[in-house]
Structure 1
Amino acid sequence: METEDLEQRLYEDNGLSSWVMTKCDQWQQHYVDNYKETFREYYRIWRGKYDPNDKIRESERSQLISPATAQAIESSVAEIEEATFGRGEFFDIRDDIVIPDMKEGMSEQEQAQLQAEMRQKAMDKQKIEYLKQKLGEDFQKQKVRKDIGEVLLNAAIFGTGIAEVILDLENEVKPATQTMGDVMAQGITETERAVVRLKPVLPQNFLIQPEATDIQSSLGVAIDEEVSPHSIKLLQEQGIYRDVVVGSSSTETSDDLEVDSTLAVQPDGVVRLTKYYGLVPRHLLDAELAEKTEDELVDEIVEVEEEEPNPLAYEVEDVEVEVKSGDSYYVEACVVIANGGTILKAIENPYMMKDRPVLAFPWDVVPSRFWGRGVTEKAFHSQKALDAELRGRIDALALTNVPMMAMDATRKPRGEKGEIRPGKMILTNGDPREVLQPFNFGQVQNITFAQAEALQNQIQAATGAFDSTGMPNAINRTSSSTLSMGLSAIIKRQKRTLVNFQESFLVPFVKMAACRYMQFDPENYPVEDFIFTVSSSLGILQREYEITQLVQLLQTMPQDNPVYPLLVKAVIENMSLSNREELDRMIDNSMQPDPQQQQLAQATAQTQLEFTQSQTQALIGQASESQARAKKIQAETVAIPIKEETDRIEAIADITRADGELTRDDKMKLKIAETAIKERGATIQEEKLSAST
């Protein structure tokens, strides 16, 4: 511990450049010891480049490399790119602004406040749409999609995709016309503005603390690469780098920093440029800034002395940078060093979010490690076995296909060339059948074809990158349930990588770029706290699978179902059609009712309502009439017995008066009639009781 503290003090005593380069050299040595040769072999497998160190056995002569891993890498990257950029716009801004509606019974003051709030929220919505459109245009101009594709490719090959977010000044040149008197002049207009670019970084050019798991948890990160001298000179002329003499690092590029290790001759006359983003001791940065201020004042004194005979007195020795006693030991800074010792730039982090302009994401996460696990690592052992199988077969074919002869050397003429070719005459000292004998090693077994195919299927199973030829062998297409289960396993693995890429790289990059534009180009970008999301969709394989499910659902549904247009719209949205948006608008318009048809339907409904009301009134009138008739009948029914009783009494009175005139037969008839009337009255009473109950 004391030794480390002593070394730390020695580094700090030598200045900021020594402290930064010591850290970078330590981190680079860790990369060289653990990852350098492995990543170089991954790169050769993807490129199909052979190296003598890749020999599996000493007697191996073939240099074949199977393209199975390269196919898996390209297929996996293409799937993620299609899922990210397949719909055109790959990011979105969350719009959770709700414009309130005007309510009844509000006072004039409340209505005025509500209208002001509605106008403000409408303006906020316009800001969101403007920022989304403007940011998309700038991304397209700076070719961000191509750079993201390269980052994805690096992640698939090496396991980790790394990129640097660069802020640069660009002159926008546009054709324009201008009136000069009576003449219309044609020319160009130049506008200087800040732009954000994305620069992919290879693993050998990226340095990070070994125990760090991400960029923010590390003491710092560095991009160590070799560039041409003219790029540094241009930045010096723009005032971004200090105007100091920078020479070439060496005649040839360093073995640890070379971009393509397969090149026979590496470029020379380059400059080693180390860009460090991270924490540095505050006093070292302050001392460097003080030294820079001192140099600037000296230059100013020299200029004044040349212009004026009696210059002002500048006390350069007393120049110091004010340091607050309560500040922390470390400060976030950006340091650029050329050739390991010349500081070109050393400033405190100038970005308002205080974030480091470097992004990285692992293709597949390795627990507690920064470097991830890529497609090449997953397929490595199967790839080596497949290469051994192919090379062994090719070496065996060389022994079995090429004709060879065994010959008695004592009976061969002196000076005779030992070769076999068509039409050649061979001279022998004796019978040729005794001197020459064909020699054959046998035939190569056909089982190697099956073994090679099985190894290729193992690569596809390890990477999850099934192509059109490998899919039927891995999944039984005769069963829809088996196909669904097989595809779901593949889609889940691709979805996992897609979500990891979006959360760790894509969304942070869009937010970082928007913050850079808000800080350095506020005229074109509104400064607001926006929440960015991704508008990525499914990959090609996933979309095809979803379309199949939607089509099967459409076949079981009638076209007049209100859900039917929504399903058709979902099918169209999963297609890569050039007029997809136009079709979506047509479907949306077809789902909305026609105003004329809507008015006609309303008139029809009103007419039907009136007709129904008239029928109801008629039925009510008929019911009233029936009730009145029933009451009349009931009243008449009650009055009948009374009338019959009156008639009976009158008849009895008449009988009494004419009793003396009636015969015996007439009296009997009267008795029978009276009995019948009584029976009739009893029957009526029973009917009344039954009706009342």
Structure 2
Amino acid sequence: MKNEKHRLVEFVKERFRRYREGRAPHEKRWEEAYYNTLGEYSPQVQGQWRRRETSGSRIFVRITRQKVRQACRHLEPALRSIKFSLVGDEGDREALSALKREIERALSLTRVSDQLVDLVWDAAWSGTGILRVPILGEVEEPNYTYDEVSGLWSPEAVPSNYPGVENVSLWNFYPDPESPSIEEAEGVIELHRLHPHRLRKMVELAGWLEEGVNALIEEGEASDEEPWESSIRGSKGAAETTRIKLLEYWGTIPAGLMRAAGVELPHNAVEDVEGVVIIGGDQLLKAAPNPWAPASRPYLRFRWEPVPHDFWGVGIAENIRDAQKMINGATRLLVDNKALAGNCMFEIDMEALLPGQDVTNIYPGKKWVLRPGAQGPALRPVHVPDVSGILLEMIQLFTDYADETSGVAAAQPGGPAARTATGLSIANSAALDAYRGTIRRLDDEVIEPLLERFYRWVMEFGDPNIPKSPAKVRAVSSTATQARELRSQRLLDFMGVVTSSLGKVPSAGEDTTLIERVDMERLLEELAETLEVRELIKTEKFING
């Protein structure tokens, strides 16, 4: 049996080697995008400077980080308020309402909005974000019982499970390099690093092999680092020495290999079955068939900008990579040029000066004593031309180029377009237009499949006391976002009409003007609600002191 388990371990190791080799070319561009988003030069660039002993400016203009942060802020409102509906038979409204409440409760417990914000951040800078769903979450809820003897209510912690969500680091995810999606891949691998005490707790979960876990901890071998781990760590942290490296494989596995390792499979299992295998070193820690019917891998992928026939997408950092380099170079030249052009430098003829004079200390009013018969001035100023104007034009050129290539326009508050309601409406609509497609992709690729898996979990493992009914999950985040934008634009247009000279026109057959017939306070509240700035409206209690 031990040899058969070793064959399954080698099967996962071989696939990991192949997946790692296929991902290696992408890691180079991710590393550059990572440091551009972080706002500092990579260790390779800093090492080149140290070898050259350069003394010039090393300033880094964080335009990539600004663009990524600005893009995520535009998408965050849609992620903080997930809208969905359950579509089923008309006679099952009560069951559908109960199911929806249960799904909303699970979304609240797992803090899914925070995980989605992290997912979008990863996708914005790298091009791809990975979400794991569902994972098993557990929460202890208080249950109060009344004691008739003492007359007191006593709390009791009752554990309950719920479907969870986890944003998976891009660096830890290894898909099949020959497939453009998770569903079409032969398998995917997630790399984990766990401390020994956390690994021991895994034995309590179903399917984990206590013998393999204990053997792995007793070996105590230092886990080898992946190349990207030392690259992104730079000089800021120590190498991995205590955490143990695990590989979790989800995908197709030969049925004979699974049975030989002691895994029970259905009698009608074909040559390849969907399953999960977790290994650490040479130890098999878990092997089981896929628990879902139909089988599905617990990962969702979101690409910021899809690339046809490629698993990985392109993010903002890669789109403005050239602009970031040119802006950094031009800014360093600008600082160095200003330092040279703004400071006085002198050419000194030592032969023309009497010995003993300190030429390193120059100050206003200093007297210089020349040798008798010295020809020409002993000190001549050296002028360095100021080319800051040309460099500023270059910086502005590539800043505009970054705006165009990233699709994230630079914010310009207080400009002429923002001084009128109509101008503000047009500016907001134009700024959000680029994100409508992104929000729709989020709905289609992440939010709707996520909600579908939550629904399946509630139907299979949820509270048996709630009514249940077959239904189809539909995400409406993009629809709700567009409806909110349209309503805010219409309210702004209406406010522009009633506050203009047209609003002072008397109503037909009445002594009131058009603006007097409008409830401006209600209009302001509705506008603040759609723009999500309701907290800026003063309450009646605050106004009255």
The reply on whether 1:274 has 2:250 as its aligned counterpart is no
Q: Which amino acid aligns with 1:18?
A: E
Q: C-alpha separation between the residues in 2 aligned to 1:506 and 1:376?
A: 24
Change (3 A) 1:559 1:435: closer
Q: Which amino acid aligns with 2:57?
A: S
Shift of 1:398: 3.0
Q: Which residue number in structure 1 is paired with residue 286 of structure 2?
A: 345
Could you list the per-position Cα deviations for residues 31-79 of structure 1 after superposition, in whole angstroms to 9, with x for gaps in the alignment? 12x1112101111111102225448997683322222221111111111
The reply on whether 1:81 has 2:73 as its aligned counterpart is no
Q: CA RMSD in A?
A: 4.2
Tell me which of 412, 421, 427 is aligned to 1:469. 412
Q: Retained in 2: the 8 A contact 1:517–1:525?
A: no
Change (3 A) 1:179 1:446: same
Q: Which residue number in structure 1 is paired with residue 187 of structure 2?
A: 220
The reply on whether 1:443 has 2:415 as its aligned counterpart is no
Tell me which of 530, 540, 548 is aligned to 2:492. 548
Q: C-alpha separation between the residues in 2 aligned to 1:159 and 1:45?
A: 14
Change (3 A) 1:520 1:396: same
Q: C-alpha separation between the residues in 1 aligned to 2:262 and 2:235?
A: 41
Q: Which amino acid aligns with 2:39?
A: G
Change (3 A) 1:285 1:447: same
The reply on whether 1:459 has 2:427 as its aligned counterpart is no
Q: Which has the higher contact order (CA 8 A, sep 6+)?
A: 2
Q: Which residue number in structure 1 is paired with residue 509 of structure 2?
A: none
Tell me which of 7, 10, 16 is aligned to 1:15. 7
In terms of fraction of residues, the more helix-rich structure is 1
Could you list the per-position Cα deviations for residues 351-406 of structure 1 after superposition, in whole angstroms to 9, with x for gaps in the alignment? 23421100111111111111112111222222221111111212222322344333
Q: Which amino acid aligns with 1:197?
A: G
Higher mean displacement: 141-150 or 374-383:
374-383
Return the TM-score normalized by structure 1.
Answer: 0.64
3-state SS of 1:538 partner: helix
Q: C-alpha separation between the residues in 1 aligned to 2:435 and 2:251?
A: 33
Q: Which residue number in structure 1 is paired with residue 62 of structure 2?
A: 67
Q: Retained in 2: the 8 A contact 1:222–1:276?
A: yes
Q: Retained in 2: the 8 A contact 1:289–1:347?
A: no
Tell me which of 313, 318, 330 is aligned to 1:389. 330
The equivalences for 1:593-612 within 5 A come to none
Higher mean displacement: 541-550 or 38-47:
541-550
Q: C-alpha separation between the residues in 2 aligned to 1:356 and 1:347?
A: 13
Shift of 1:168: 2.1
Tell me which of 490, 498, 504 is aligned to 2:445. 504
The equivalences for 1:483-632 within 5 A come to 490-523=431-464, 526-536=467-477, 537-538=480-481, 545=489, 547-549=491-493, 551=495, 571=527, 574-576=530-532, 578=534
3-state SS of 2:388 partner: coil
The equivalences for 1:5-154 within 5 A come to 15-32=7-24, 34-51=25-42, 53-54=44-45, 61-85=56-80, 88=81, 90-95=82-87, 97-98=89-90, 121=91, 124-154=92-122
Could you list the per-position Cα deviations for residues 454-503 of structure 1 after superposition, in whole angstroms to 9, with x for gaps in the alignment? 3212211222222432895xx96799999888766544321111101110
Q: Which residue number in structure 2 is paired with residue 170 of structure 1?
A: 138
Change (3 A) 1:542 1:155: farther
Q: Which amino acid aligns with 1:281?
A: P
Q: C-alpha separation between the residues in 1 aligned to 2:99 and 2:84?
A: 10
Shift of 1:549: 3.8
Change (3 A) 1:230 1:559: same
Q: C-alpha separation between the residues in 2 aligned to 1:423 and 1:178?
A: 90
Change (3 A) 1:283 1:526: farther
Shift of 1:506: 0.8
Q: C-alpha separation between the residues in 2 aligned to 1:192 and 1:413?
A: 92
Q: C-alpha separation between the residues in 1 aligned to 2:476 and 2:468?
A: 22
Q: Which residue number in structure 2 is paired with residue 642 of structure 1?
A: none
Higher mean displacement: 169-178 or 372-381:
169-178
Q: Retained in 1: the 8 A contact 2:131–2:299?
A: yes
Q: What is the aligned-residue identity percentage?
A: 18
3-state SS of 1:345 partner: strand
Where does structure 1 lack aligned partners over 5 or more consecutive residues?
1-10, 99-120, 291-320, 581-693
Q: Which amino acid aligns with 2:152?
A: M
Shift of 1:408: 4.4
Q: C-alpha separation between the residues in 2 aligned to 1:412 and 1:284?
A: 92
Q: Which amino acid aligns with 1:261?
A: R
Q: Which residue number in structure 2 is paired with residue 288 of structure 1?
A: 261
The reply on whether 1:405 has 2:396 as its aligned counterpart is no
Could you list the per-position Cα deviations for residues 398-438 of structure 1 after superposition, in whole angstroms to 9, with x for gaps in the alignment? 32234433344678999999745769989989589855444
Larger radius of gyration: 1
Shift of 1:520: 2.3
